Structure 1
Amino acid sequence: MKMFAVDTHAHVFSKNDPCIATARYTPDYDASVAEYIAHLDQHHFTHGVLIQPSFFGTDNTAMLNAIAQYPERLKGIAVVDHTIHIDELVKLNQQGIVGIRLNLFGKELPDFTDQAWSTLLNHLSFMNWQIELHAPPAYLVQILPVLSPYKLNVVIDHFGRIDPVKGIADPDYQSFLNMLDANQHWIKVSAFYRLGQFPENIAVVAQAFNLLKEKGLMHKLIWGSDWPHTQHESKVSYSNVVDTFHKIVPNLKEQQQILGENTQKLFLF
């Protein structure tokens, strides 16, 4: 029997799927759910979480179709309009969606005090969904305090997106680390290659992992492959990111905790 293990961050798409007009990047190849499942099987992962890519905006169709093919193994994180009706959220919930993602790179910081936002955040809390943040540290330090009154899991992508130039010493990143609350926050130890020149930056990423551990967040760390590694496809493969994870987290028990126990608590597979 396979040991329970989850890849919490991957994307599926086809080059023929319609992208939004404002997309900062559009793929010229396919990343199919069958390919993704093959990667999971090859590396002994029992489950996966699909994340809505930014270039599809709020049209979650490709991801929902993929989950429908493997409903026992896959769940998803959607991108929605903040004015969405709860009936639509309930429908997404029935299709395997367990949270929403805010990708704020290249965007203005939303006004979370707006009535529509507070309604949405209350809906997420009611449904036991998570909110996933993909944002630079300068944004995270503004968002986390606003989300703290809500009873919901806040998942922070890719180590909190350490600035490749400023590194861990970046005052915003230090403030972010100091704001982390083990009662609410989860951190993905993922996408190492987006945080500086890879693989030279592995030492910095390992340092970040150790800092998170020191802050008592070991039980709130999860891992994702970030497959198919958009815009880094030529440098990184699925095997690469699994190997890098093992380098950053050499302790077998900690690896199993991050891939298994922690993800089970958050995603309830």
Structure 2
Amino acid sequence: MSRSPFEAAGADGDGFADRWHARTDASVSAIDGHAHVFVQGLPMLRERRHTPDYSATVDDYARQLAAQRISHGVLVQPSFLGTDNTFLLGVLARYPKRFRAVVVVEPEIAEARLEALARCGVVGVRLNLLGTALPDLAQPSWQRFMARIKALDWHIEVQRQAVDLPYLLNPMLRSGCKVVVDHFGRPEPRQGTADPGFQYLLGQGDSGQVWVKLSGAYRCAAGHADPAGQAFGERASRLLLQAFSSSRLLWGSDWPHTQHRQWVDFAAAKASLAQWVPDPLARLNVLRHTAQDLFKFSQ
């Protein structure tokens, strides 16, 4: 009898995630706010930007968390899986104390389905708009969708080049939604923090509705001089701390670092945060308190 991709992933692993999840102490010490899990054989979008040739199993991810003394994680639906969140929800159901999830859905999704996702531990929806046409968020369908997200007290997670952030964030903020901006806002690498879109993002610090993920700095790196994006990450984090404070910033490993695995690993991603946020109390906010509240982890 054939196995589901999730069952196959468990069989191919060593059960580490089961043992990690079964530990009695599941109190929140630190939260990875952005990671992906998937296995080979999952149905993928026909049109996609990337096709991984490896699996990123939940056993592998749990091992990384344990090694870095991180108690909880937020799993984000990868772009190449589209709106089929089946695998992600399977992981969430198996480890409900340890993970929350951010899914990808169509704006016309049924109300009952959204409510079911909330009961599963979903806390947000992702708009991964890299390489796609920008949606018209003024359309009634999007207005209704954003109202539903607000009613659920979820957030909308946005990944798009910084130049387009004003177009996207302004209607979201008018709707009253919480907004999480991925990967430092994705400024154009040659412009870095001078990118007008990044400057716009800094101006949203007083809104009280916007959070920014300190993650994937290598996705904003300016060439071979700084392939891991470390220098960019330090400059951008300093400005973001000034604009948002640690109460609106989140850290994410971006594991398994798709398309950038040659430049960084989980340990390096975690170590970067100490350089980006050198103050221990601010760093504790970023790693724990801010994420715990936004992602609805219990005490």
- Distance in 2 between the 1:6 and 1:182 partners? 24
Secondary structure in 1 matching 2:145: helix
**1:144, 1:179 within 8 Å by CA — same for their partners in 2?**
no
The Cα offsets for residues 106-141 of structure 1, whole Å up to 9 and x where unpaired, read as 011101111111111111011111100011112111
Q: Which residue of 2 aligns with 1:220?
A: 248
Q: Which residue of 1 aligns with 2:4?
A: none
**2:162, 2:197 within 8 Å by CA — same for their partners in 1?**
yes
Secondary structure in 1 matching 2:174: coil
1:100-119 alignment, distance < 5 Å = 100-119=125-144
- Distance in 2 between the 1:13 and 1:104 partners? 20
- Is the deviation greater in 250-259 or in 172-181? 172-181
Q: Which residue of 2 aligns with 1:205?
A: 233
Residue 25 in structure 1 maps to residue 53 in structure 2: no
Q: Which runs of 5 or more residues in structure 1 are unaligned?
A: none
- Distance in 1 between the 2:246 and 2:169 partners? 19
**2:202, 2:244 within 8 Å by CA — same for their partners in 1?**
no
Residue 65 in structure 1 maps to residue 90 in structure 2: yes
Shift of 1:227: 0.3
> Alignment identity in percent?
38
The TM-score normalised by the length of structure 2 is: 0.86
Which amino acid in the other structure matches residue 270 of structure 2? V
- Distance in 2 between the 1:247 and 1:67 partners? 31
- Distance in 2 between the 1:142 and 1:4 partners? 36
CA 37–49 in structure 1, closer or farther in 2 if over 3 Å, else same: same
Q: Which residue of 1 aligns with 2:260?
A: 232
Give 1:147's match in structure 2, choosing from 154, 168, 172.
172
Shift of 1:85: 1.3
CA 28–140 in structure 1, closer or farther in 2 if over 3 Å, else same: same
The TM-score normalised by the length of structure 1 is: 0.95
1:186-197 alignment, distance < 5 Å = 186-196=211-221, 197=223
* CA RMSD after TM alignment: 1.5
Give 2:154's match in structure 1, choosing from 129, 141, 147.
129
Residue 120 in structure 1 maps to residue 148 in structure 2: no
Residue 265 in structure 1 maps to residue 293 in structure 2: yes
Which amino acid in the other structure matches residue 62 of structure 2? I
CA 76–223 in structure 1, closer or farther in 2 if over 3 Å, else same: same
Secondary structure in 1 matching 2:284: helix
- Distance in 1 between the 2:102 and 2:229 partners? 28
Q: Which residue of 2 aligns with 1:252?
A: 280
Shift of 1:255: 1.4
Q: Which runs of 5 or more residues in structure 2 are unaligned?
A: 1-24
Q: Which residue of 1 aligns with 2:114?
A: 89
- Based on CA coordinates, which of the two structures has the bigger radius of gyration? 2
Secondary structure in 2 matching 1:215: helix
- Distance in 2 between the 1:179 and 1:73 partners? 31
